[in-house]
Amino acid sequence: MISNKEVLDALSVIIDPDLKKDIVSLGFIKNIKIEDDAVSLDIELTTPACPIKSEFQKSAEEILAGLDGIKKVKVNMTSRKVKKSEKNKNGLSNVRNLIAISSSKGGVGKSTIAANIARELSARGFKIGLLDADIFGPSVPTLFNLHHVDIQADKDKNMIPVDLNGLKIMSFGFFLGDSPAILRGPIVSGYIQQLLTGVAWGELDYLIIDMPPGTGDIQLTMTQTVQLSGAVIVTTREALSLVDVAKGIEMFETVKVPMLGVVENMSHFICDNCNKKHYLFGNDRENIITEKYGLETLIELPIKKGITNHLDKPYSDPDIKKLVDKVVMAIGKMAFSANTTPQYEFDDEKLSFIWPDGTRSEVKNIELRADCGCAVCVDEYSGEKLLKVEDLPKDIKPMEITPLGNYALKITWSDGHASGIYPYKQIRKLENIV
């Protein structure tokens, strides 16, 4: 009879494409049972919506069926149980993942992205909720053509979300109708808390939260009221939007919400005649956001018809499917994220680093300060450097350094400059190995 070790050895050829390791060493294989010529086991993934779970299942079944003496194979696909936060109570107590879709300024398509992510996940058969938490400009009722909705309450006086083909939806717009929201800060915070904890969501795999634009009191209230699993920032590459991306990154890092990545919306259009990609806003370099901030660009979404149509009707878009795959993969990678954060220290002349691979390096203060890529130091449209080394104080040095996730450092300098974010990739290009 075949042994557990032989089963594990056989399955170790299956590699997770994101984590770059085999599913055995990652600990995905659980509950192996061998009875005569039958083998059954579980493959426990990091997230229930893993886009390649069917590929894992098919590969495992084919490999096991090819082993000598095995005639029956059963591979169950499961997902890791998420440890519930004590902050997520009441209506959120049975929600496994809370994903914030955010933008630091309005008009970049945040609500459209949030709605499409929720609908695509729901279409894949997962239990999904969509919370429109934009008090002053709720868009979800329009996107889903849900007007004149009568919201009911359950026996515990929790609001019952609208069920649209299995997708549960709640929006402050259901209560506003066509009226504007003229509210003061404390009242807004109260409404936000009610929307977060006073809705009877039931059991959900993911609750997608369409955040209000900005980085103010409302956003802080939300992050203090519940524990978010991760955040996605939506932006365009237009100069004003890119400047505000840094504010969003800093906000989520400050409140300890993991960053999943950035969606660059309305990035470009594809010409009908030449099939060439044309960037309309600012710089035409690809992956400019990753280059500037170190945070992964999940997708560059083109300008196209369709994704802003009424989402209550059947519609499928390959770019949205790709985006959802990227978001889900980013959630899964959080549990296995490699330690790429270096140890560092600084003095009056340099920053010194010890990287996870043991490499030691140094970067001169003045060289790193001169390489700042923020809007003050670099022209957002032309990419031309505005900051000259000769204009910097010779004795410039860091006053404070703040790590941003495992991808960058934020540095406050002695000349008062504090808006720069320095990705580790950028630092390593400047380093001198010691």
* 84 within domain boundaries: no
Q: What is the CATH number of the domain that holds 45?
A: 3.30.300.130
Note whether 321 and 274 are same-domain residues: yes
Cα-based distances in Å from 248 to 194, 289, 382, 429: 24, 13, 24, 26
pLDDT for position 14: 95
Rounded Cα–Cα distance for residues 97 and 100 (Å): 10
Considering 79, 107, 129, which residue would you say is the last residue of a domain?
A: 79
Rounded Cα–Cα distance for residues 328 and 121 (Å): 10
pLDDT for position 409: 93
* 85 within domain boundaries: no
pLDDT for position 182: 46
Note whether 171 and 280 are same-domain residues: yes
Q: What is the CATH number of the domain that holds 150?
A: 3.40.50.300
User: Which SS3 state, helix, strand or coil, does residue 99 take?
Assistant: strand
What is the Cα 187 distance to its own chain's centre?
29
How many distinct structural domains can be found in the chain? 3
Average pLDDT per block of 10 residues along the chain, 434 residues long = 90 90 92 92 88 92 91 92 72 90 87 94 94 84 86 87 93 71 57 83 94 78 84 86 83 87 88 81 71 89 72 78 92 73 93 93 95 84 83 94 90 91 93 87
Note whether 94 and 75 are same-domain residues: no
* 425 within domain boundaries: yes
pLDDT for position 299: 92
**C-beta of residue 80 within 8 angstroms of C-beta of residue 44:** yes
In which domain, by residue range, is 195 found? 90-334
Considering 53, 79, 105, which residue would you say is the last residue of a domain?
A: 79
pLDDT for position 393: 93
User: Which SS3 state, helix, strand or coil, does residue 16 take?
Assistant: strand
Partners of 259 in the β-ladder? 231
Residue spans of alpha helices (H) in 198-347: 217-225, 239-254, 288-293, 318-334
First to last CA, the chain: 56
Note whether 244 and 310 are same-domain residues: yes
Q: What is the CATH number of the domain that holds 358?
A: 3.30.2020.30
Rounded Cα–Cα distance for residues 408 and 169 (Å): 36
pLDDT for position 250: 85
* 325 within domain boundaries: yes
Encoded tokens for 363: 């970067």
Residue 303's contacts (CB-CB under 8 Å, 6 or more residues apart) are 266, 267, 268, 269, 280
DSSP letter assigned to residue 366: H
Note whether 389 and 320 are same-domain residues: no
* 224 within domain boundaries: yes
* 384 within domain boundaries: yes
Considering 334, 351, 367, which residue would you say is the last residue of a domain?
A: 334
Note whether 233 and 355 are same-domain residues: no
Note whether 183 and 212 are same-domain residues: yes
